[in-house]
Amino acid sequence: MRFANLAIAALTLAFALPAYAQQPTIIKFSHVVALDTPKGKAAEYFKKLAEERTKGRVKVEVYPNSQLFKDGEEMEALQLGSVHMLAPSLAKFGPLGVREFEVFDLPYIFDDYNELHKVTQGPVGAALFKKLESKGIVGLAYWDNGFKVMSANKSIRVPADYKGLKMRIQSSKVLGDEIKALGGIPQVMSFSEVYQSLQTGVVDGTENPPSNFYTQKMQEVQKYLALTDHGYLGYAVIANKKFWDGLPADIRTALEGAMKDATKFANDIAKKENDDALEAVRKTGKTQILTLTADEKAAMKKALIVVHKDNEGRVGKDTIADVYKETGFKP
Ligand code: LMR
């Protein structure tokens, strides 16, 4: 009898436990870049807001620097539910079979962040997210990074300078065609392997926005950085759809609010983060920063613009046309 009373008391206590004493839902959020980048900072900010607003019912574990999964592993891990959230660059959706995302990789398709936002914050961005659903993935937000620079250990000002250079790229066929259009040799490689591959000469050069260049210490292994602004790199924040849809409605609403605010934060800091990173590279004195003349820029554009037409079949003529319409781009 006494035992039964005790059991009832224990049961009552368990039901009366305050929310904070219950087991929180863990959200594993993996990404491949450093903490001190637009994406790294935005992921931490999302964690902070998500945990505050769910009052401890959710715990977000952020794994930066490919600690948990690297490129080539993380999409499958998300689909299997081994990780719940990712923020891969838009250039990494081809292997998943959603090639339309490679529209973001087309050279010169965006002149600036304003043009980009017409796509990411408009119907084209929403339609692209819809395509993820059949893959068991939900698109939550687009986060900005920035416009890419090219780097190598020789001066690279015009297309002829790229002839024969092995250039590391992300897993995007459009980016492969971009390097080929310059006469270089594209090498797909995980982000986590880039520094070492540049150091050991496995590849000669690469492309990325300055924030990634600087935080990966590429200035130690690349003598030249060309301000080509030839393309954009940004992210889709995505989640395992089954996991996301299975969250209690109030939690999901709180997380959506946290994501909205973290997205504003990400997009507010991205440009300055990249400007500061470029300045920081300059200050190291290790990498010479090349500002292209108008003629050099024109030569780069002339060589690269063919990539648009060549990839109509892959990216989709309609998707490309939809982006042109939003941004006013004239090929
Ligand atoms: C890269 O692989 O170069 C980038 O996508 C890394 C990143 O996530 O910014």
Q: Whose CA is nearest to atom 1 of ligand 1?
A: 191
Atom of ligand 1 nearest to the CA of 32: 8
pLDDT at 14: 46
Rg (CA), the chain: 22
pLDDT at 22: 73
Atom of ligand 1 nearest to the CA of 206: 3
With pLDDT > 90 as the criterion, what percentage of the chain qualifies? 92
Distance 322 CA to ligand 1 centre (A): 25
Burial call 312-329: b when 16+ CB within 10 Å, e when fewer: eebbeeebbebbbebbeb
pLDDT at 18: 53
DSSP annotation of 116: H
pLDDT at 13: 45
For a mutational test of ligand 1's pocket, the pick from 36, 105, 145, i.e. the residue with the most ligand atoms closer than 8 A to its C-beta, is 145
Q: DSSP 3-state assignment of 238?
A: strand
pLDDT at 12: 47
Distance 67 CA to ligand 1 centre (A): 14
Q: Is the pLDDT of residue 216 over 50?
A: yes
Q: Is the pLDDT of residue 5 over 70?
A: no
Atom of ligand 1 nearest to the CA of 91: 5
Query: What mean pLDDT do residues 237-246 have?
Result: 98
Per-residue pLDDT tens over the stretch 306-320 = 999 999 999 999 999
Pocket of ligand 1 (CB under 6 A): 32-33, 89, 145, 170, 191, 208, 212
pLDDT at 17: 52
Atom of ligand 1 nearest to the CA of 170: 2
Sign of the C-alpha dihedral computed for residues 311, 316, 321 and 324 taken in this order: negative
Distance 16 CA to ligand 1 centre (A): 46
Distance 197 CA to ligand 1 centre (A): 15
pLDDT at 10: 47
